[in-house]
Amino acid sequence: MTKISIFGYTDYRQFLRDAYEELKQSKHFFSYRYFAKKAGLSSPALLKMVIEGERNLTPKSIEQFVTGFGLKGHDAQYFRVLVLYNQAKTDSEKNKQFSKLRKLLEHRKVNLLSLQQYDFFSNWYVPVIREVINCEGFENDPEKISKYLFHEVTPEQVKEAIKLLMTLRFVGEEKGSIVSRPGHLKTDDSISHLALKNYHRGQLDQAKKSIERTKADRREIQALTIGVDLEKIPLAKEKILEFMDDMRDLLHSGSNKQVYQINVQFFNLTEEDFPK
């Protein structure tokens, strides 16, 4: 049985790699062949192939790996769900499996930064409320904040958002009032990438609603459909990033009266090659 806790992992292949190395060092006889025999696998190479991403696990082999590494109880349950999360083909399925993962983590009282990253980005309004705190006339009143956000967010969601912001130290208390603090989150794992996708979907929904609720002289929505040379895509992305930096410097100075969102979408509408 491995001594490594699986609850510190969001990538089952990395867990398998670390667990194998730990067992190999602590038990001189442990090998891919020994593991295969213990797990009831027909191929001694399967563990290595799964670790290196050359093969996925099936429902049957998941149970064989649980046996091979001696996982039991919640450890085994977490491994099963983690495999389904990592191998999910759609974001909706990933979100479904991640919801199960976090319940297991909460049961074990594991506090991972990844969970906080997920909540920060997955709920589009959390970064928005962080900016609302900087606006003139702000009061820490969930009802008023909800109204300020066109009632797109409930007072309860406002409370949870501020609680999360305080946990992440993006918000602090000074003289009885809450104030925004500088800082950023790294987004370098699979959970953060999934959360960012959720964030962009939420903000795109708000962009659609702004067409109806905001007067044209208070918004700017442009669209350009054009054929492109694939070699120019990296340069186009670079210029979009430069534009966003310029807009941040331009708008994030002076007094804040409202919170705005800038979305720039640059994506393909066609396959790379025309059908033959």
d(CA 32, CA 50): 12
Same domain, 242 and 144: yes
What does the pLDDT average to over 188-193? 75
Same domain, 207 and 148: yes
pLDDT level of residue 109 (50, 70, 90 thresholds): confident
In a domain, 259, yes or no: no
**Of residues 65, 60, 63, the one with CA closest to residue 48:** 65
In a domain, 163, yes or no: yes
Check residue 273 and give its pLDDT.
Answer: 87
Least confident of 58-72, 74-88, 107-121: 107-121
Same domain, 219 and 134: yes
In a domain, 188, yes or no: yes
In a domain, 268, yes or no: no
CA atoms within 13 A on the CB side of 255: 4
Same domain, 198 and 242: yes
Q: Is the pLDDT of residue 230 over 90?
A: yes
Check residue 225 and give its pLDDT.
Answer: 96
Same domain, 89 and 131: no
Check residue 59 and give its pLDDT.
Answer: 97
pLDDT level of residue 115 (50, 70, 90 thresholds): confident
Same domain, 245 and 144: yes
Check residue 186 and give its pLDDT.
Answer: 67
In a domain, 212, yes or no: yes
Domain that holds residue 247: 120-251
Which tokens is 199 given? Answer: 């964030």
Check residue 198 and give its pLDDT.
Answer: 94
Which alpha helices (DSSP H) does 108-232 contain, by range?
113-122, 125-132, 142-148, 155-167, 190-213
Same domain, 74 and 38: yes
Check residue 227 and give its pLDDT.
Answer: 95
What does the pLDDT average to over 15-24? 95
Same domain, 62 and 149: no
Count: domains in the chain: 2
Check residue 111 and give its pLDDT.
Answer: 63
- Beta carbons of 74 and 108 less than 8 angstroms apart: yes
Name the more confident of 109 and 218.
218
In a domain, 13, yes or no: yes
Same domain, 140 and 89: no
In a domain, 25, yes or no: yes
Percentage above 90 pLDDT, the chain: 80
d(CA 68, CA 1): 8
Check residue 113 and give its pLDDT.
Answer: 67
In a domain, 112, yes or no: no
d(CA 7, CA 65): 16
Same domain, 54 and 168: no
Mind listing the pLDDT tens digit for each residue in 150-159? 999 999 999 9
Same domain, 144 and 239: yes
Mind listing the pLDDT tens digit for each residue in 171-189? 999 888 899 898 887 666 7
Mind listing the pLDDT tens digit for each residue in 85-106? 999 999 999 999 999 999 998 8
Q: Is the pLDDT of residue 20 over 90?
A: yes
Same domain, 99 and 125: no
Mind listing the pLDDT tens digit for each residue in 35-71? 999 999 999 999 999 999 999 999 999 999 999 999 9
Residues 6 or more apart whose Cβ sits within 8 Å of residue 236: 228, 266
**For all residues of the chain together, what is the average pLDDT?**
93
